[in-house]
């Protein structure tokens, strides 16, 4: 059952990611990206990370992709065709490097059993403890300082985005 | 029986697709989306390791990666809007004033 679900979700995610990269209109890219996010959230649920799956759906598919859609509609983009530029050969080098990295990663991970772990996931008590409580147990005790620092990061991002996207008031030098 | 290698291969394939998107597309919005695809692939790797090692730290770092990615998308799209207002297009080949 888990194998069948993994292959279905994996196929959906990979096909949608392929469409994100290779389709021409930005709206199509955004919509297939949303499907990719939902597929990845399904894979998270399969990996016993229900809280993270819901956060992924709310934050990524619900906020980040909607922000992309708003910006695309705000800019009112025309369909951009792939321009022929002279640096195409250099980009193919990058693609070859990326595929080579994929092959290398696949061959390294062939015989790889993970050892170690701290037992903090509490999979054996999965019936009684929810994933939210397991995550919160570590997040608010051991990792409290990074958690508070992310709030400062978000504040900086908010201020930066508001200032960058503000219309210039159009003050030209007069007189 | 789904092993760790299945998830690692899937996330490596997603990461490769993201890299291809960043290198090949000329539209700034699509480049930002391919960046998000790479970050999602990394999140999948972390969650897979968290499950197969039995430790929750992988899930916690995924929360932080999501926060950073959301902040980065907000600022990146604000930059894209500003570039569009200045130049009238978001083709990254045209943002070349500082190119030697």
Under the banding of pLDDT at 50, 70 and 90, the label for residue A165 is confident
Backbone angles phi and psi of A50, in degrees to 5: -70, -40
Cross-chain residue pair A20–B34, CB shorter than 8 Å: yes
Give me the interface pTM, i.e. the ipTM.
0.92
Does residue A114 lie within any of the structural domains? no
Percentages of chain B per state (helix, strand, coil), in multiples of 5: 80, 0, 15
CA distance B38 to B16: 8
Q: What's the confidence (pLDDT) of residue B68?
A: 95
Q: Which member of B17, B57, B85 has the closest CB to residue A18?
A: B17
Yes or no, beta carbons of A98 and B13 under 8 Å apart:
no
Which are the contacts of A86, defined by CB distance < 8 A and separation ≥ 6?
Answer: none
Beta-bridge partners for B27: B91
What pLDDT shows up at residue B95? 82
In this structure, what DSSP letter does residue A25 have? Answer: S
Q: Which of chain A's residues have a Cβ under 8 Å away from the Cβ of B43? A: 40, 52, 56
**Distance (Å) from the C-alpha of residue B40 to the closest C-alpha of chain A?**
8
CB contact under 8 A, A49 and B10: no
The domain locations on chain B are: 27-90
Per-residue model confidence (pLDDT) at position A1:
87
| Tally of structural domains, chain A | 2
According to the model, what pLDDT value does residue A126 have?
66
Burial of A146 by CB count in 10 Å (0-12 exposed, 13-18 middle, 19+ buried)? middle
Residue of B16, B34, B50 with shortest CB distance to A49:
B50
Instruction: Tell me, yes or no, if B10 comes closer than 8 A to chain A by beta carbon.
Output: yes
A174 — pLDDT class (breaks 50, 70, 90) = very low
CA dist., res. A17 & res. A56, Å (int): 16
pLDDT at A108 over 80: no
B16 token code pair: 């490769």
B54 chain-A contacts, CB cut-off 8 A: 117-121, 123
Mean pLDDT of B45-74: 92
Pick the CATH number of B27-90 from 1.10.287.3510, 3.30.1220.10, 3.40.50.150, 1.20.1260.10: 1.10.287.3510
Please, which pLDDT band fits residue A67 given cuts at 50, 70 and 90?
Answer: very high
Q: Tell if the CB–CB gap between A109 and B77 is shorter than 8 Å.
A: no
The predicted-structure confidence for A70-91, as pLDDT tens digits, reads as follows 999 988 776 555 555 556 677 7
Q: Is the pLDDT of residue A26 over 50?
A: yes
**Mean pLDDT, chain B, as a whole number?**
90
Residues A10 and A73 in one domain: yes
Give the residue, A148 or A105, on which the prediction is more confident. A148
Predicted pLDDT of residue B4: 87
Higher pLDDT, A20 or B99: A20
Helix/strand/coil (H, E, C) string of A46-83?
HCCCHHHHHHHHHHHHHHHHHHHHHHHHHHCCCCCCCC
pLDDT of residue A84: 52
Structure tokens at B8: 């690692």
pLDDT value for A114: 67
Contacts of A167 in chain B (CB under 8 A): 85
Residues of A in contact with B9 (CB under 8 A): 105-106, 109
Provide the pLDDT for residue A16.
96
Question: Where is pLDDT greater, at B66 or A132?
Answer: B66
Task: Give the end-to-end CA distance of chain B in Å, rounded to a whole number.
Answer: 55
CA-CA distance, A151 to A106, in Å (whole number)? Answer: 37
Q: What is the mean pLDDT of residues B14-30?
A: 89
pTM (2 decimals)? Answer: 0.88
Q: How far apart are CA B100 and CA B88, in angstroms?
A: 22
**From B76, which residue of chain A is nearest by alpha-carbon distance?**
A161
Structure tokens at A5: 């679900």
| pLDDT on residue A169 | 67
Write the DSSP symbol of residue B88.
S
Output Rg (C-alpha) for chain A, integer angstroms.
22
Residue A116 placed within a domain: no
Distance CA B37, CA A11 (A): 15
**In-domain check, residue A27:** yes
Residue B86 has a pLDDT of 85
Say how many CB pairs under 8 Å bridge A and B: 228
CB contact under 8 Å between A121 and B34, yes or no, is no
From CA A150, how far away is CA A157, in angstroms rounded? Answer: 10
Reported as half-sphere exposure (CB side, CA atoms, 13 A), residue A56 has a value of 30
- The confidence score (pLDDT) of residue B93 equals 81
Compute the distance between CA of residue A133 and CA of residue A26 in angstroms, rounded to an integer: 39
Q: What percent of chain A has pLDDT over 70?
A: 81
Which residues span the domain enclosing A138?
A: 125-166
Average pLDDT over residues B26-33: 91
CATH number reported for the structural domain that contains residue A46 in this entry: 1.20.120.1200
């Amino acid at each position: 059952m888990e194998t069948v679900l993994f292959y279905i979700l994996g196929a959906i995610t990979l096909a949608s990611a392929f469409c994100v990269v290779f389709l021409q209109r930005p709206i199509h890219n955004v919509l297939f990206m949303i499907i990719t996010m939902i597929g990845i959230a399904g894979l998270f649920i399969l990996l016993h990370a229900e809280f993270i799956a819901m956060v992924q759906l709310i934050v990524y598919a619900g906020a980040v992709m909607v922000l992309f859609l708003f910006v695309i509609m705000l800019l009112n983009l025309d369909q951009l065709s792939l321009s022929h530029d002279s640096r195409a050969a250099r980009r193919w080098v990058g693609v070859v490097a990326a595929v080579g990295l994929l092959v290398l990663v696949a061959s390294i991970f062939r015989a790889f059993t993970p050892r170690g772990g701290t037992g903090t996931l509490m999979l054996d008590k999965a019936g009684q403890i929810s994933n939210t409580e397991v995550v919160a147990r570590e997040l608010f005790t051991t990792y409290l300082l990074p958690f508070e620092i992310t709030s400062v990061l978000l504040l900086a991002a908010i201020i930066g985005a508001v200032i960058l996207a503000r219309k210039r008031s159009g003050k030209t030098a007069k007189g | 029986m789904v092993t760790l290698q299945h998830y690692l291969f899937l996330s490596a394939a997603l990461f490769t697709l993201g890299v291809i998107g960043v290198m090949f597309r000329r539209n700034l919005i699509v480049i930002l989306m391919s960046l998000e695809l790479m970050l999602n692939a990394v999140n999948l790797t972390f969650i897979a390791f968290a499950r197969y090692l039995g430790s929750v730290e992988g899930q916690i770092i995924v929360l932080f990666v999501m926060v950073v990615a959301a902040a980065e998308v907000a600022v990146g799209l604000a930059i894209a809007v500003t570039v569009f207002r200045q130049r009238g297009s978001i083709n990254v080949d045209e943002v070349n004033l500082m190119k030697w």
